[in-house]
Amino acid sequence: MRQFTKGFAALALAAGLAFAQGAAAQGTLRIGMTAADIPLTTGQTDQGGEGMRFMGYTVYDSLIEWDLTSADKPSVLIPGLASEWAVDAEDKTKWTFKLREGVTFHDGSPFTSEVVVWNLDKLLDETSEQYDSRQAAQGKSRIPAVASYTAVDEYTLEIVTKEPDATLPYQLAWILMSSKAQFEALGKDWEAFAATPSGTGPWKLETFVPRERAEMVPNTDYWDEARIPKLDKMVLIPLPEPNARAAALLSGQVDWIEAPAPDTIPAMTGNGFVISSNAYPHNWTWHLSRVDGSPWNDIRVRKAANLAIDREGMGALLGGLMVPAKGFLPPSSQWFGEPTFDVRYDPEEAKALLAEAGYSVENPLKVKALISPSGSGQMLPLPMNEYIQQSLAEVGIEVEFMVVEWNQMINLWRAGAADPAVEGSESINFTYFIQDPFTGLIRHLSCDLIAPNGTNWGHYCDPEMQALFEQIKTTFDPAEQDAVLRKTHEKFVNDALFLMVTHDVAPRALSPKVKGFVQAQNWYQNFSSITME
């Protein structure tokens, strides 16, 4: 009985003291991430785009980085730890990088070309003492072009590629530089390094509790003065469950959440929270099978499907937080070009095209589509796919779904359309990171990347397209390269190579106290300009 009253007293106390605890200290930004764990802290991060966003470009830098300062234009590559770079005029496989001088790691050690070599060995040389299978698993596949690398002098680095490849700068934007001195000071142990990491980035990782939180403080010696963080502290909290995220924001435990569930947004805006969003290189498509016998080999069918979907109508489901697809890349992309096929909602035209191909609502084309009920970047896959199913049924395409879990979906994506495991599915609903030429265009349709060797799921192989990809790789002038990329994308759209549906807009919900955030059109973001009121 006494314990009972004690318990009750504690509860009463709960009510009484509730307001005693106010907001956290000024200048602290607490972010609820969608990841279930703190991303890998040793340099090359895991947890996909979110890992790079919060643990990659915060604590570390790469040789070449993305410009994250503007919300209005697509972000482009800018010098990072390398101040300039060029490919050899004669030998197009030889690149020279001038490194930024006077940059120091958080531990005080200098950043030099020797450290870059050491970092590349960390990912590529299994015999090196700093080789880390976990970082290699994340980073190796990002730099397929790299054949060898040498430190020419303290601030000059040379990289030789396997074949001429003008996309090398985009590849290097993935590779983050960890401190060699810190690794050695900690007894050459990556596990110790993970607890006290050291990079050159604008943020220093102060403490972290696995799966619970990570706390970062500004690196006041950061080489780019414009990017020295204004906040006192930034706290990352993994909150994988969307409703737990929403509740945490609404009850004031975090100031910022990634990817609020669309249905929670009215409650947030109603309480003064701000929804920030912007186009970025993400797409939500059906990747079509082009193996023999696939109905998607008929361009009329592909175009008809693209014309059958009312993308604006789908917006209601997503609380308006989407960009309707006009092509494979978002309309704002620097590589969008001027495709002649207008991706729009025109069911009559769709029916006409299908009629030409021999199908109608009465005699529908039957297709099988691979979808997953959840998955990172997949937005709201089930309702969205059901919506597409309904739309396609109205013009004469009958869709049967094969629903598999996300992990299995990744395996099936790697296996490719011809693999028996996909059970004859003729499309896969897989969302893509499409930020650079390789991830954005080449990897999906290149002949030498046909699954399972690469990620050309549909076994598409077209000499004309292949020639364009070659041209991208051999056009070393950035402006000319952009022109080739535009041409390539025009072909993507004109041939209706995908069922192009929508682009995510990376919504995040912010407390009104968060000021100065500029959401770049990128997977990564700059947190240095933010202040807390």
Question: Interface residues for another protein in 85-144 (CB under 8 A)?
Answer: 133-134, 136-138, 140-142
Closest CB to another protein among 136 and 185? Answer: 136
Query: Residue 408: which of 381, 445, 375, 456 has the closest Cα?
Result: 375
Min separation Cβ 24 and another protein, Å: 8
Which candidate, 192, 135, 422, places its Cα nearest to that of 288? 422
Kindly tell me which of 383 and 478 has the beta carbon lying closer to another protein.
383
User: Which letter does DSSP use for residue 512 in this model?
Assistant: T
Q: Is 228 in the site for another protein (CB under 8 A)?
A: no
* Residue 393 contacts another protein per CB under 8 A: no
- The least CB distance from residue 421 to another protein, in Å, is 11
Q: Should residue 267 be labelled a site residue for another protein when binding is judged by CB under 8 A?
A: yes
Of the pair 99, 434, the CB lying nearest another protein is at 434
Report the DSSP beta bridge partners of residue 398: 366
Residue from 26, 243, 360, 363 binding another protein (CB under 8 A): 243
Cβ neighbours, 10 Å, residue 91: 11
Rounded CA-CA distance 491/233 in Å is 47
The binder of another protein chosen from 27, 110, 252, 347 (CB under 8 A): 252
The verdict on 513 binding another protein (CB under 8 A) reads no
Q: For the chain, what is the radius of gyration of the CA atoms?
A: 25
**If you write DSSP's letter for every residue of 353-411 in order, what string do you get?**
HHHHHT--SSSPEEEEEEE-S--TT--SHHHHHHHHHHHHHHHTEEEEEEE--HHHHHH
CA-to-CA dists, residue 509 to 75, 318, 415, angstroms? 22, 15, 37
State yes or no: residue 266 binds another protein (CB under 8 A).
Answer: yes
CB 258 within 8 A of CB 57: no
Q: Which is nearer to another protein, 388 or 397 (CB)?
A: 388
Bridge-based pairing of strands 282-288 and 514-515 is unpaired
CA angle 473, 465, 449 (to 5 degrees): 70
Site for another protein contains 350 (CB under 8 A): no
Stretch of residues binding another protein (CB under 8 A), selected from 5-13, 53-61, 78-86, 322-330: 5-13
- Minimum CB distance to another protein smaller for 185 or for 382: 382
Map the footprint of another protein across residues 447-476, applying CB under 8 A. 452-455
Choose one: 1-9, 53-61, 85-93, 97-105; the region binding another protein (CB under 8 A): 1-9
Apex CA 73: angle with CA 70 and CA 76, to 5°? 80
Alpha helix (H) residue ranges in 77-165: 113-124, 133-139
User: Of residues 58, 119, 264, 378, which one binds another protein by CB under 8 A?
Assistant: 264
Q: Please tell me whether residue 13 binds another protein under the rule CB under 8 A.
A: yes
Q: Is 99 within 8 Å of 156 (Cβ atoms)?
A: yes
Q: Which of 78, 358, 374, 477 binds another protein (CB under 8 A)?
A: 374
Among 205, 193, 233, CA closest to 59 = 205
Q: Does the footprint of another protein cover residue 14 (CB under 8 A)?
A: yes
272 neighbors 513 (Cβ within 8 angstroms): no
Which residues, numbered 160-219, are part of the site for another protein (CB under 8 A)? 191, 194, 209-213
Binders in 307-326 for another protein, by CB under 8 A: 313-314, 316-317
- Judged by CB, which is closer to another protein: 140, or 487? 140
Give whichever of 427 and 446 is closer to another protein, judged by the CB atom: 446
Task: Tell me the closest approach of the beta carbon of residue 14 to another protein, in angstroms.
Answer: 5
59 binds another protein (CB under 8 A): no
